[in-house]
Structure 1
Amino acid sequence: MDFALTDEQRAIRQAARDHLERHYPPLRVCALAEGPGGSEAGAWPELIRQGWLDDDLGMVELTLLAEESGRCLHPTPWWTTVALAAPYALAAGEQLTVPATFADGGGTVRAVRSPQGWTLTGQVAAVPQAGAVRCLVVHADTDQGPAVFTCDTGSAGLVVEELSTLDTLRRMARVRCDGTPARLLVEPDRAAEAARTARLRGGVLLAAEAVGVAAGALDMAVAHARQREQFGRPIGSFQAVAHQLTEAYVDTELARSLAYRAAWLVQHETEACAQAVDEAVLVARSAAVRTCETAIQITGGMGVTWEYPLHRWLRRALWLEAYPGFGDDPHDRVAERLLRRADPDEITPTAPDGR
């Protein structure tokens, strides 16, 4: 079985990297992070022109784009749109072409139907980039069970309150609905399946972005180790530095392999895709945090200053590690698979001495 990228996929990755490096060098990303919105609102038409929201992009292609986005901390709501909101639109046979995000209001938001249509009432404590998007995809409770709705962020009765968050490029917000008009996107009888698909696709893209974050931090650390000299030699020539970079490189490559594998399995809807996604998320998130911490250690005193951009990558890595939006902790699911017992009738009794 050939898991190599096609020529077209490699071209997509290179075009994405060229575009992002040209428009979002580290200093500009940091400037946007310290601005009022934390993102560049006017970039969306260019993303559409570049094909980042084309409906013929498969899971592997989206994974490559998510990785490149993480590498430069792409300061737009593209990731929240394709990873969190778009899977529900896809389940409804629709395509999202405007900036969007997902609000999990299960248990806290109630949807009521009247002759005038659906309305939402309730609150979601933390919604990624709700202050930077035009559309909310909301999971809410109905009399028939959970369902998924969409509403415009400018709708009546909708209040978005931005919160103080670690990663100012992906700010969280509290969302309150008070009789907010909404449109039914996924009916109750299809909501569970849509949520499962969204968890798989979103998990892959979270892992892919984490790989990009690790790769971006590693690039900065390697560049510093080549240029910075001590005792007349680049610090990368010392084992204490070289070995740390090597371990970070291995962590990043392992995470990349698992993310690509998960993307391929989800795209082909195999039975192993759920386990592959959990494994990719666990490894990629850990690799991103460890690599960022290693990079900061290698860059020394400069690395811990506010002016040096590396802390932005660590902030995103920590955000990805903490994001709870895909259900239970994947540690629990992986552990359950590892420790799942056979049928009790098939278990051979063990003597008290272990024989």
Structure 2
Amino acid sequence: MDFALTDEQREIRRAARDHLERRYPATRVCALAEGPGGSEAGAWPELIRQGWLDDDLGMVELALLAEESGRCLHPTPWWTTVALAAPYARAAGEPLTVPATFADGAPDGAAPTGAGTVRATRSRRGWSLSGQVPAAPQAGAVRCVVVRARTEEGPAVFACDTGSPGLVVEELSTLDTLRRMAQVRWDGTPARLLTEPARTPEVARLARLRGGALLAAEAVGVAAGALDMAVTHARQREQFGRPIGSFQAVAHQLTDAYVGTELARSLAYRAAWLVQNDPEGSLACAQAVDEAVLVARDAAVRTCETAVQITGGMGVTWEYPLHRWLRRALWLDAFPGFGDDPHGRVAERLLRRDDAGGITPTTLDGR
């Protein structure tokens, strides 16, 4: 069985990297991070022309684009659009060609951090929304907000334009200024229905699988970008007449970061492939996404921390761009938008193993 990328997929990755490296060098990304909004408003038409929002892109292709976006900290709302909002628009048969994000105003069970309460009411004029969500990613930089709201029949998903009457978006002070969170309030805001209450639970489940796979892919890109900076520094920086990369203490750290990043990449690609080829979102698909999210988020944080250590005092200065990658890694690690923490589900599956040599609850404490 061939697990390699196809020629077309490799070309998509190459074209994406060329475009992003040319348009968003680290100096420009940092300048946008320190400016208002933290994103480039005029880049969206170019993304459409290059096919970044084409309906025929599969999950593997989107994962490659997400990885390259993470590598350079792509300063547009593309990730929030395709990973968070697009699954609901696609379920409704609507193409999503404008920057968008998702806000959960009707969370399942215990509300995750950032979830709020939004209610939808229906009248002769149509649907309207009232309520608020304390933190929605990049709501201040998009033109459409997709929100799950409560109705009399149960949660349903709606969409509304950011310029709609009664909709107020207030950006928050957040660690990652390239992906700012915002408080969103609705006060009788007109909205259009995307998914009926009967379909919403299943659509939300599949949307979380898709979003989780793309989160893992972006985390891999963040790790790869930080590793590139660390390797470049280790080659150029000299001590005692030798590049510091020739010393074992540095080389071993870079090797560990490389191994962690490659492992995360394999799991992210596997998760994306399963989401693409398992439209029902089976248990195996959900397990793959959980594993990819856990490993990729951890690899991003660890690799960024390793890069900071290798670059030494320069790595913790404001002028050096590495802290932007660390901020994104921490953002991804803390993002609660896909429900409960997957650690619990992965641990439960491990503890259920009863095969020979497997882990069981009675052996964890040594008894």
**TM superposition score normalised by structure 1:** 0.95
Give 1:2 shift. 1.8
Q: Residue in 1 aligned with 2:112?
A: none
1:239 and 1:277 mapped to 2: Cα distance? 35
For 1:159, what is the secondary structure of its paired residue?
A: strand
Match of 2:188 in 1: 179
SS of 2:173's equivalent? coil
Q: For residues 125 and 55 of structure 1, what CA distance do their matches in structure 2 show? A: 31
- 1:129 aligned residue: 138
Q: Aligned with 1:184: secondary structure?
A: strand
Superimposed CA distance per residue, residues 13-69 of structure 1 (whole angstroms, 9 cap, x where no aligned partner): 000000000000001000000001100000000000000000000000000000000
Alignment of 1:322 with 2:334, yes or no, is yes
Distance 2:45 2:99 in 1: 10
SS for the counterpart of 1:95 is coil
TM-score (norm 2): 0.92
Q: Does 1:198 align with 2:207?
A: yes
2: distance between equivalents of 1:93 and 1:293? 42
Identical-pair percentage = 87
Q: Aligned AA for 1:91?
A: A
Helix, strand or coil for the counterpart of 1:189?
coil
Task: State the partner residue of 1:302.
Answer: 314
Q: Which residue of 2 aligns with 1:5?
A: 5
- Structure 2: how far apart are the matches of 1:3 and 1:197? 24
Shift of 1:340: 3.6
Q: Does 1:283 align with 2:292?
A: no
1:335 maps to which residue? 347
Give secondary structure in 1 for the equivalent of 2:79.
helix
Deviations 1:288-317 (A, max 9, x none): 000000000000000000000000000000
SS of residue paired to 1:79:
helix
List aligned pairs for 1:133-282, cutoff 5 A. Answer: 133-269=142-278, 271=282, 272-282=284-294
Structure 1 counterpart of 2:227, which letter? L
Instruction: Write out aligned runs for 1:98-117 (5 A).
Output: 98-106=98-106, 108-117=117-126
Residues in 2 aligned to 1:101 and 1:336: alpha-carbon distance in whole angstroms: 32
2: distance between equivalents of 1:309 and 1:251?
A: 22
SS of the equivalent of 2:199 reads: helix
SS in 1 for 2:76: coil
Match of residue 347 from structure 1: none
Per-residue deviation at 1:339? 2.4
Amino acid at match of 1:229: E
CA RMSD of aligned residues (A): 1.3
Deviation at 1:341, TM superposition (A): 8.0
Query: Residue type of the partner of 1:329?
Result: D
Rounded to whole Å, the distance in 2 between the matches of 1:308 and 1:24 is 16
Q: Deviations over 1:199-244 (max 9, x none)?
A: 0000000000000000000000000000000000000000000000
Deviations 1:132-170 (A, max 9, x none): 000000000000000000000000000000000000000
Runs (5+) with no aligned partner, structure 1: 343-349
For 1:182, the aligned partner's letter is A
**Equivalent residue for 2:49?**
49
Residues 240-295 of structure 1: per-residue CA shift (max 9 Å, x gap): 00000000000000000000000011101163110000000000000000000000
SS of residue in 2 equivalent to 1:188: coil
1:15-34 to structure 2, matched below 5 A, reads: 15-34=15-34
Q: 1: CA distance between counterparts of 2:353 and 2:271?
A: 25
Measured in 1, the distance between the counterparts of 2:9 and 2:353 equals 41
Q: Give the AA of the match of 2:300.
A: A
- Please give the alpha-carbon distance, in whole angstroms, between the structure 2 residues aligned to 1:76 and 1:256: 23
In 2, the alpha carbon distance for the partners of 1:239 and 1:338 equals: 35
How far apart, CA to CA, are the structure 1 residues paired with 2:61 and 2:94? 19
- What one-letter code is carried by the residue in structure 2 that aligns with 1:93? G
Structure 2: which 5+ runs fail to align?
A: 108-116, 355-361
Structure 2 counterpart SS, 1:333: helix
Q: Kindly tell me the number of residue pairs found equivalent between the two proteins.
A: 345
Q: Would you identify which runs of 4 or more consecutive aligned residues in structure 1 move more than 6 Å?
A: none
**CA-to-partner distance for each residue in 1:330-350, whole Å, 9 max, x for gaps?**
1011112222488xxxxxxx9
Paired with 1:174 and 1:139, the residues of 2 have a C-alpha distance of 15
Determine the C-alpha separation between the residues in 1 that align with 2:148 and 2:347. Answer: 28
